[in-house]
Amino acid sequence: MVRTAKANVPAWVIASSIVLVFLGCRKPDNELGTDLLPNDPVGVVVEQATLRAYTFVDPAVQTSGLTRNLVGSYLDPEFGSLQTGIVTQVRLTTNNVGQGMDTSGLSADSIVLALAFEATNTHYGNLNPQRFQVFELTEDLSIDSVYHTDDVPEVDALDLVYPHAGEITPRPFNTVTTPDGELPPQVRIRLSNALAERFLDGFGTSDLVDNTAFLQFFKGLYIKVEGSGQAPDQGGIMYLSTLSSASKLTVHYKDAQSAEPELARSYVLDINGNCVRYTVARHDRSVALTPAITNALMDTVTPASLVYVRTLGGLRTAVRFPDLAERLGSGRLVAKAELVVPIAGSFYPYYLPPTQLFLFRKGTNGEDLFVPDQLTGSTSGIGGLYASAEKEYRFNITRYVLAIANGSVPNNGVVLVAGSSGVSANRAILGGPEHPQTPMRLELTFTTY
């Protein structure tokens, strides 16, 4: 199954991968009104607009061609289970493998799939043992196609993991000692010798002439974990760098017909930027210990005390401003508009909130569009970074509110989206407008004269 590449890159991908250049500037808050005449009366009024917010399911997000891939499973008591897997091709490191050699004495010792951990951001959740599974793809992948979290590949039913070798405890902080030396932290999965023999049987044949032929001979791998039976807060998602030189598939073998029949030999199949690589994600909210999110998704009308965001095509939050037009009356100038989004209560220390939330408005066709503050905002930008001391996110949306006031942008609300949505497993429970202690709010600062 080959998917057609999309012409337009989603706005969240742009927002996650570029540094916005902000062209405008504003005066500090303590200088508001200083451009008025000395005898003009100036007043500052701060009000809170009425908000409505609700949670909805995020569409599948693009995960192909990104900086990292995710594999693992965990059970979140509030959000339910999340299971992720990696789909990747492997490629020959040389052409014409085995051409001209006597291959009759080749015998497999082992074959090992190595996936290196990200150096600085290694996992989300806990590091309990997980049972890995690896399957061979039966469908062609195209480097020119875009793949998403819901693109579950077609695979052969046979698990390629060597018997009893699938139970692995992730160790993202430990180097690995091998006969080849010290290697960076990684997940190492031994695969079946039958697969190693299959590659050795291809030595000297047309199947290993070049990568075009090889990708018809072996289309790639789907790496996942079994995931069932996890207790609440058990398990986690591993962040793996498939672009690391340590991520590869290595066939270890001997050659009985050579002058050194006991010499350990190896052939490396590479994982690199020329490979199709993407992450699959499955959310199962039905196994959550509380029905709060399920109920929230079914009711978008009742004023919400809690709303939710989750990466990997999980959850988004919509925010509406029903009385904004009434507040933007004559005689008052909007000096600042700030949307404040608090975390609701405490959270499990291994389930950190996203480091950033993005804020979009919707286009006429339902597409994500930047609000004006993201393109021509102040020197500090629109904001949206998580402030751990205050346990909240703040967005400067002054230009958005002014655009609503002058009619250039419709007042159809905004959407909160977790940042790094294709490369992280973060989630957050946010205070909704009706939260009794830490409500979401839109603070409007007016100057009057």
The predicted-structure confidence for 329-356, as pLDDT tens digits, reads as follows 766 789 999 999 999 999 999 999 999 9
User: Is residue 439's pLDDT more than 80?
Assistant: yes
% residues pLDDT > 90 (the chain): 81
The whole-number pLDDT of residue 42 equals 57
The whole-number pLDDT of residue 362 equals 86
The whole-number pLDDT of residue 359 equals 95
With contact defined as beta carbons under 8 Å apart, do 238 and 228 qualify?
A: no
- The tally of CA atoms less than 13 A away on the side-chain side of residue 219 is 17
pTM for the complete prediction? 0.88
The three-state (H, E, C) secondary structure of 139-196, written as one string: CCCCCCCCCECCCCCCECCCCCECCCCCEECCCCCCCEEECCEEECCEEEEEECHHHH
The predicted-structure confidence for 261-274, as pLDDT tens digits, reads as follows 999 999 999 999 99
What does the pLDDT average to over 102-128?
A: 96
User: Is residue 30's pLDDT more than 50?
Assistant: no
Mean pLDDT of the chain, nearest integer: 90
With contact defined as beta carbons under 8 Å apart, do 313 and 150 qualify?
A: yes
User: Is residue 27's pLDDT more than 80?
Assistant: no
- 199-204 contact pairs (CB < 8 A, 24+): 199/111, 199/251, 199/267, 199/269, 200/103, 200/106, 200/107, 200/108, 200/251, 200/253, 201/103, 202/97, 202/98, 203/97, 203/98, 203/101, 203/103, 203/106, 204/97, 204/98, 204/99, 204/100, 204/101, 204/103
The predicted-structure confidence for 304-319, as pLDDT tens digits, reads as follows 999 999 999 999 999 9
Q: Which tokens is 448 given?
A: 């009057």
Q: How sure is the predictor about 34, in pLDDT bands with cuts at 50, 70 and 90?
A: very low
- Residue 248: phi and psi, rounded to 5, are -170, 170
The whole-number pLDDT of residue 8 equals 47
Give the whole-angstrom CA distance, residue 346 versus residue 273: 40
The predicted-structure confidence for 279-307, as pLDDT tens digits, reads as follows 999 999 999 999 999 999 999 999 999 99
* Helix/strand/coil for 109: strand
The sign of the torsion formed by the CA atoms of 406, 49, 377, 18 equals: negative
Give the residues across from 98 on adjacent strands. none
Q: For the chain, first and last CA: distance in Å?
A: 65
The predicted-structure confidence for 242-257, as pLDDT tens digits, reads as follows 999 999 999 999 999 9
| More confident: 74 or 180 | 74
- Residue 268: phi and psi, rounded to 5, are -100, 130
What does the pLDDT average to over 11-31?
A: 41
